[in-house]
């Protein structure tokens, strides 16, 4: 019969070995990809940790909006929103390339639209609001200068889901250069 006293040292030794092997396994990292442009994380964390550590010198300037603060996103910190590759205009004669339609049908069947805070976009959204709601379309505000612009778009949207963001990359990927526009797997609509 094995006593609990004789099992305890064996259990303790096993536990100690497993902990030391786990620590070694964690310490051995594998680099999957290195672009050669890696930058240290510490400078990005400094503003977040500034309240926790005493400062030894003058604060460094940052490239952020001087009125910005960390924490909950404030609309003023997200503005202005600009999309230099897009302009207000008519999309007549424009259509999505067949391969773009195929990608949209496979990856994002939900319709979405691009608008600005300009008068043409606001009129377009007001006249197509019910269709956009019925389709479950999601909007992206690609041009807005001020908080008043965003508030005016929200007022006209009346419940449509709209996010802020530059539409340049999206426009290039879709091969479009005008807004307002509704994008569906079937093509472009204005």
The pLDDT tens digits of the residues spanning 7-32 come to: 445 555 455 555 555 444 445 556 66
Total-model pTM = 0.60
Interatomic CA distance for residues 65 and 54, integer angstroms:
24
Residue 165 lies in a domain: yes
Structural domain harbouring 125:
87-189
List 57's β-bridge partners, or say none.
Answer: none
The CATH number of residue 156's host domain is 3.40.30
Per-residue pLDDT at 99 exceeds 80:
no
What pLDDT, on the 0 to 100 scale, is given for residue 58? 43
Query: Exposure of 117 by Cβ count < 10 A (0-12 exposed, 13-18 middle, 19+ buried)?
Result: buried
Angle (CA) 49-50-56 rounded to 5° is 130
- Count structural domains, the chain: 1
């Amino acid at each position: 019969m094995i006593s609990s006293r004789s099992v305890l040292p064996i259990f303790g030794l096993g536990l100690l070995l497993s902990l030391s092997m786990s620590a070694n396994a964690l310490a051995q990292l594998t680099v999957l990809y290195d672009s050669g442009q890696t930058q240290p994380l510490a400078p990005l964390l400094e503003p977040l940790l500034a309240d926790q550590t005493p400062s030894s010198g003058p604060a460094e300037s940052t490239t952020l909006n001087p009125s910005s603060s960390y924490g909950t996103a404030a609309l003023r910190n997200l503005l202005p929103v600009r999309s230099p590759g897009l302009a207000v205009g008519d999309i007549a004669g424009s259509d999505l390339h067949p391969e773009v339609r195929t990608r949209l049908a496979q990856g994002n069947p939900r319709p979405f639209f691009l608008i600005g805070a300009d008068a043409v976009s606001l009129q377009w959204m007001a006249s197509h609001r019910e269709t956009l709601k019925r389709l479950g379309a999601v909007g992206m505000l690609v041009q807005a200068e001020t908080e008043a612009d965003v508030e005016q778009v929200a007022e006209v949207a009346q419940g449509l889901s709209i996010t802020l963001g530059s539409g340049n990359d999206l426009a290039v990927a879709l091969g479009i250069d005008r807004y307002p526009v509704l994008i569906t797997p079937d093509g472009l609509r204005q």
